[in-house]
Amino acid sequence: MLQEFYPDHEADDAYGIAYESLYEAGYRGIIFDIDNTLVPHGAPADQRARELFRRLRQIGFQTVLLSNNKEPRVKPFGDAVGSPYVYKAGKPGREGYRKAMELMGSHTGNTLFVGDQLFTDVWGARRAGIVTYLVKPIHPKEEVQIVLKRRLEWIVLFFYHRSLGRKGK
């Protein structure tokens, strides 16, 4: 039961993932969460985010931002990094992920998702059949409902890491 929340991969942050290797492996589209994945919650796109998206375009990736936030939060970020976006995405529902793949012209076999939350980001992407990267939240200050979810995430990640240890990974 908990396995449906397990990420396929973990990374310290969205900026340290080996995107070139992923492109060589056949991936062509990347869906990103914004808040606490690319920047602290509510922050505008910074130079690091703009540079990441420039780099991804140079590699050959298509990108989409997928957020449960409203358009006034998501559009300026998308404009700043040069990426299309889906706002009010309804994560963990599958529809937002499908719409993102449609925007990129990608499919479940060549799309990745990068986000910081298990119960919205990772679970939704897994339900949609997309390979997931769970990154550590950028900033510890979060809304109270997210803080509560983080405690539950800790339990799931405990069992996830334990299962990896038993498999010898």
How high is the pLDDT of residue 143?
Answer: 59
- The whole-angstrom separation of Cα 50 and Cα 80 is 7
How high is the pLDDT of residue 101?
Answer: 98
Cβ proximity of 112 and 134 under 8 Å: no
89's tokens? 């995405």
- The whole-angstrom separation of Cα 141 and Cα 69 is 17
For CA atoms 96, 98, 103, 109, the dihedral sign is positive
Pairing outcome for strands 62-66 and 29-32: parallel
As separate numbers, helices (DSSP H) first and strands (DSSP E) second, the chain gives 6, 6
- The whole-angstrom separation of Cα 91 and Cα 67 is 8
**Tens-digit pLDDT string for the chain (169 aa):** 678 888 999 999 999 999 999 999 999 999 999 999 999 989 999 999 999 999 999 999 999 999 999 999 999 999 999 999 999 999 999 999 999 999 999 999 999 999 998 889 999 999 999 999 999 998 766 555 565 666 667 767 777 777 777 544 4
Pairing outcome for strands 111-115 and 131-135: parallel
| pTM score of the predicted model | 0.85
How high is the pLDDT of residue 168?
Answer: 42
How high is the pLDDT of residue 140?
Answer: 64
Tell me if the bond preceding 84 is cis, omega within 30° of 0: no
